[in-house]
Amino acid sequence: MGYARTALLLAGLTGLFLAAGWLIGGQTGMVIALILALGMNVFAYWNSDRVVLSMYGAREVDGTSAPRLHGLVRQLAANAALPMPRVYIVDNPQPNAFATGRDPAHAAVAATTGLLQRLSEEELAGVMAHELAHVKHRDTLTMTVTATLAGAIGMLANFGLFFGLSGGNRNNPLGPLGAILVAILAPLAAMVVQMAISRSREYQADAEGARICGRPLWLAAALAKLQAGAAQVGNAAAEANPATAHLFIVNPLHARGMDGLFTTHPATENRIARLRQMALDMGQTGPWG
**Extended beta strands in the chain, E state:** 59-61, 86-90, 97-101, 107-112
Catalytic-residue membership of 131 = yes
Residue 13: closest CA among 174, 151, 168: 151
Residue type, 144: T
Q: Is 257 helix (H, G, I), strand (E, B) or coil?
A: coil
Please say whether the beta carbons of 109 and 130 come within 8 A.
no
Beta bridge partners of 248: 98
Return the SS3 of 215. Answer: coil
212 burial level (CB within 10 Å; 0-12, 13-18, 19+): buried
What span, in angstroms and rounded, lies between the C-alpha atoms of 37 and 124?
Answer: 37
Q: In the chain, what is the straight-line distance between the N-terminal and C-terminal CA atoms, in Å?
A: 27
Helix (H, G, I), strand (E, B) or coil at 267: coil
Catalytic pick among 123, 131, 202, 208: 131
Tell me which residue of 243, 267, 226 sits closest to 126, measured CA to CA. Answer: 226
Enzyme catalytic residues:
131
